[in-house]
Structure formats: C-alpha cells, structure tokens
Structure 1
Amino acid sequence: MKKPQTVKALEELGRVQLSKSLFMRDFLYSEISQIEGIPNIPDDPKLAIAAGKNLCEKVLEPIQDVLGRISVRSAYRSCVVNAKGAENQNQYNCSSNESNYAGHIWDMRDSEGYMGATACIVVTSFIPYYEKTQDWTALAWWIHDHIDGYTRMTFFPKYAAFNISWRENPDCSKVIYSYVKNPHTGKSGYLTKEGMDNYSGSHEQFYQAFIEQLPSS
C-alpha cells in the first residue's frame, strides 16, 4: 500500500479495521496537524497498519472489553508532524523523531529494527473515580496485572490520560511512569519497572475499589 495522495486513497486507509471496534481513522487526528496545516499521513501505511493492529488487538481492545469505552487523545504521528511538535517542544510536548520511532511514529522501526505503536488514551469509566480520589495508580496497576501486551505507560494529569505502548521487541519489560504524584507516596516518576520490588505479583488492593464501582461489577 502506497502513501495516500488523494482523498479516496486516504478514505481507504481510514477504513482499515485494526481490531473489532477500532479503525485506522480513529488514530490519524492530530491537533498539530490541524493547526500547522501538515497532513498526518503515514509514509509506510503497511507498517503503520501492522503496528496499529498489534496495539489495538493486544492492548486497547482488552482494556475496552472490561473497562468500557476508551477515548483516543493522540496516537499516530507522521515524521513531519512529530518533527514540528519536537521543534516547538515547550508548546506541543513532543520528543524527537528518533525517540518516537515505533512509538507515536508507527511507520518507522526503532534503532534495533522492531516495530511498535503508542496511543494516548482516556478510559472514560475511570474519570469519576480519578476526579474523586486523584489516584491514577488504580488504573495503572489494573492494566499492569491484566494486559500482557503493553510495554510502557506514561500518565498525565488531565483525566488520568496516558500513553500506552506495544512493542515488537520481546526483550521489552513493562514500565509505568507518571508526571502526576502518586497519592500513596507523594512522588511522581516511576511507579514500577523491572527490578523494582513491586514489579511482580498482584496489585489488586490498589484497584479493587475502582473495579467494584463499575456498572458491571
């Protein structure tokens, strides 16, 4: 599949079904693209689709199956769009293209040749619990315990939105990082990563109250 050059071709790309309820079009919107007038279109649609399918099937759909609708805040970025975001980092908060290959830039492999994909999402059912408790760790620990396909999460303050990634690299270990203070420790930064004492085992005590208040519980 070539990079779309016409409206019809872009429509066809947008219709590609990445998983049972998610389509490529769901991941192409970008505020940077809109304001700066830069099309957010993959140079390598085939690679972007392959990475996106893994993210959707192995990470996003399993979350949505249990916790309900997810809202995509930011996902795929073309190299040109991400470069503009990195150029204006203070305004757009984008890191360099190289650090985003196999991350937000789905259609470029990382330095080791592996593909990957990242999306920033909000779990709608978590918003009331988060606004009441400010405890983003409840969601982080639930995903850590139940979603095998994720490799990294990074949490942000508004609605407990977070970047979540899938990586092809089999050596990637799970990492949870947050720019929001952990209400249990008063600190931001790493919640867990390989080598930390809290990496393994069940963390149900941190998310049980959230799960119990879901409508299906």
Structure 2
Amino acid sequence: MKKPETVKGLEELGRVQLSKSFFMREFLYSEISQIEGIPNIPDDPDLAIEAGKNLCERVLEPIQDALGRISIRSAYRSCAINQRGNEKGFSCAKNEDNYAGHIWDRRDGEYMGATACVIVTSFIPYYDRTQDWTALAWWIHDHVKAYANMTFFPKYAAFNITWHENPDYPKYIYSYAENPHTGKSSGYLTKKNMDNFSGSHQQFYQEFIQQL
C-alpha cells in the first residue's frame, strides 16, 4: 500500500482490520496532529500494518478477551509527529528511540515492533479504590507472554505496552505512578535480572480478578 495522499486513500488505510476487534483508524488519532496540524500518516503503511497486527493479535486481544474493553489512548506516531512532540516536550522520546515503538513504520535495526498506550476500562474502579496499578501489570505479565515492555502512568492506570519482533528485546515493567506496596514514586516493577521476574504473581491481582 502506498502512503495515502487523499481522503479515500486514508479511509482505505483506516479500514484495515488489524485483528478481530481492532482497526487501523483507531490507532491514528493524535492530539499533536490535531493541534500542530501535522498529518499522522505512515510513510510505510505495509510495515505499520504488519507491526500493528502483531501488537493487536498477540498482545491487545488476549487482554481484551479476558478483562474487557481496551480504550486506545495513543498509539501510532509518524516520524514528523514524534519529532514535533520531542521538540516541544510532549513526552515523546527522540525518533531513533521510538522506532518499532510508537513509530510502527520504522524498524529497530532489523526488527519491527509497535507500541500503544491503552486503558483497561474494567480496571478503573479497582484502581480508583486501591491505587494499585501493579495488579494489572502482574496479571498481564503472567498471562500475556508476547508483551515486550510496559510503562504505567498515574491517570486511570493507563500504560504503554509494546510488542517487539526481537526475542531478546529487554522485557520490563516500569511506572511513573507510586507503587503502593513499596512506596516508591517511580521505577521498575520488574525486569529480567530482578528476583521477582519469574513465577506466579497471582497474589497481587487475585482480588481484582474476583471482582470482574
């Protein structure tokens, strides 16, 4: 598919079904695009679609199947959108660090990948009551093995979640929200070299799952 340059072409891209529940259109919305007037359109739609399908089929669908509706907060960014976001301090890493992340249509070396910032709506009442985002993080860690990394934020326990083609890509869970179990304001919940990476973490999410 060529980069869309017409309304009809962009409609065709938006209608691409990435998985049983998700279409490309819902991943293209960008506040930076809206305010800065820069189109958020992939230069390489085929690569963006392939990466997005892996993210949706292997990561997002398993979460939605088990926990209910996922709301897409932010996902694909074109290089131009991400660069503007980085230059203006809109919480965007530089382009090279976002290849195969939010920039779906650029490879990280030889590997493709994709990131979306999402909210699990069924988790909001539990999070509002407990402020314990780790319950959701540990459930995904135990049940969705295809995720590459997650980064949590305080509002609604929204989180970036990435699928990456590289099997050796560093897997971790990081948060900018306070961990209620440790009192730390931010940092890693787990990563491969930490003692808590392996095994079951059911004790952290059992209460949440029982309330579904």
Pairwise TM-score range, normalised by the shorter structure: over 0.9
Residue of structure 1 equivalent to 2:146: 149
1:15: Cα distance to partner? 0.3
- The amino acid of 1:141's aligned partner reads W
Aligned counterparts, 1:93-112, within 5 A: 93-110=91-108, 112=109
Residue of structure 1 equivalent to 2:173: 176
Find the residue that maps to 2:115 and give its secondary structure: strand
Find the residue that maps to 2:190 and give its secondary structure: strand
Mapped to 2, the partners of 1:151 and 1:184 lie a distance apart of: 24
Residue of structure 2 equivalent to 1:193: 191
- The amino acid of 2:147's aligned partner reads Y
Query: With structure 2 as the length reference, what TM-score do the two structures score?
Result: 0.99
Residue of structure 2 equivalent to 1:74: 74
Residue of structure 1 equivalent to 2:58: 58
Residue of structure 2 equivalent to 1:203: 201
Find the residue that maps to 1:16 and give its secondary structure: coil
Residue of structure 2 equivalent to 1:165: 162
1:173: Cα distance to partner? 3.8
| Aligned counterpart for 1:126 among listed residues 101, 119, 123 | 123
C-alpha distance after superposition, 1:90-115 (max 9, x if no partner):
xx1111000000000000001x2100
- The amino acid of 2:80's aligned partner reads V
Find the residue that maps to 1:197 and give its secondary structure: coil
Query: With structure 1 as the length reference, what TM-score do the two structures score?
Result: 0.96
Mapped to 1, the partners of 2:200 and 2:170 lie a distance apart of: 17
Mapped to 1, the partners of 2:41 and 2:60 lie a distance apart of: 21
- Unaligned 5+ runs, structure 2: none
C-alpha distance after superposition, 1:11-40 (max 9, x if no partner):
000000000010000100000000000000
1:193: Cα distance to partner? 0.1
Find the residue that maps to 1:63 and give its secondary structure: helix
RMSD: 0.5
Mapped to 2, the partners of 1:211 and 1:174 lie a distance apart of: 24
Once the two structures are aligned, what percentage of the paired residues are identical? 78
Residue of structure 2 equivalent to 1:30: 30
- How many correspondences in the alignment? 211
Mapped to 1, the partners of 2:171 and 2:128 lie a distance apart of: 26
Mapped to 2, the partners of 1:62 and 1:172 lie a distance apart of: 20
- Structure 1 residue runs of 4 or more that deviate by more than 4 Å after TM superposition: none
- The amino acid of 1:104's aligned partner reads H
C-alpha distance after superposition, 1:28-84 (max 9, x if no partner):
000000000000000000000000000000000000000000000000000000000
- The amino acid of 1:202's aligned partner reads S
Residue of structure 2 equivalent to 1:20: 20
- Unaligned 5+ runs, structure 1: none
- The amino acid of 1:83's aligned partner reads Q
- The amino acid of 2:107's aligned partner reads R
1:174: Cα distance to partner? 2.0
Mapped to 2, the partners of 1:127 and 1:181 lie a distance apart of: 16
Mapped to 2, the partners of 1:173 and 1:86 lie a distance apart of: 23
- The amino acid of 1:190's aligned partner reads Y
Mapped to 2, the partners of 1:115 and 1:61 lie a distance apart of: 19
